[in-house]
Amino acid sequence: MTDSLLEVEDLHAGYGSSAVLFGISLRVDAGGVTTLLGRNGMGKTTTVRVITGLLRPSRGRIALGGRHCQGKPSHEIARLGIGLVPEGRQIFPNLTVEENLIATAANRSRRREPWTLPRIFAVFPQLRERRRQMGNHLSGGEQQMLAIGRALMTNPDLLILDEATEGLAPLMRAEIWRCLELLKAEGQSILLIDKNVDALQRLADRHYVIEKGRIVWEGAPAGLATRPDLLHTYLGV
Domains and CATH numbers, the chain: 4-235 (3.40.50.300)
Average pLDDT on 51-56 reads: 94
Give the pLDDT of residue 111: 82
pLDDT tens, position by position, 116-134:
999 999 999 999 999 999 9
Residue among 27, 21, 35, 186 nearest 119 (CA): 186
Give the pLDDT of residue 237: 55
Give the model's confidence band at 236: pLDDT under 50 very low, under 70 low, under 90 confident, else very high.
confident
What are the residues whose beta carbons fall under 8 Å from the beta carbon of 20, sequence distance 6 or more?
Answer: 13, 14, 43, 46, 213
Give the pLDDT of residue 194: 94
- Cα separations (Å) of 92 from 30, 86, 135, 164? 30, 13, 6, 18
Give the pLDDT of residue 191: 98
Give the pLDDT of residue 180: 96
User: Looking at the predicted structure, is the pLDDT value of residue 195 above 70?
Assistant: yes
Give the pLDDT of residue 1: 42
Say if CB 26 and CB 8 are below 8 A apart. yes
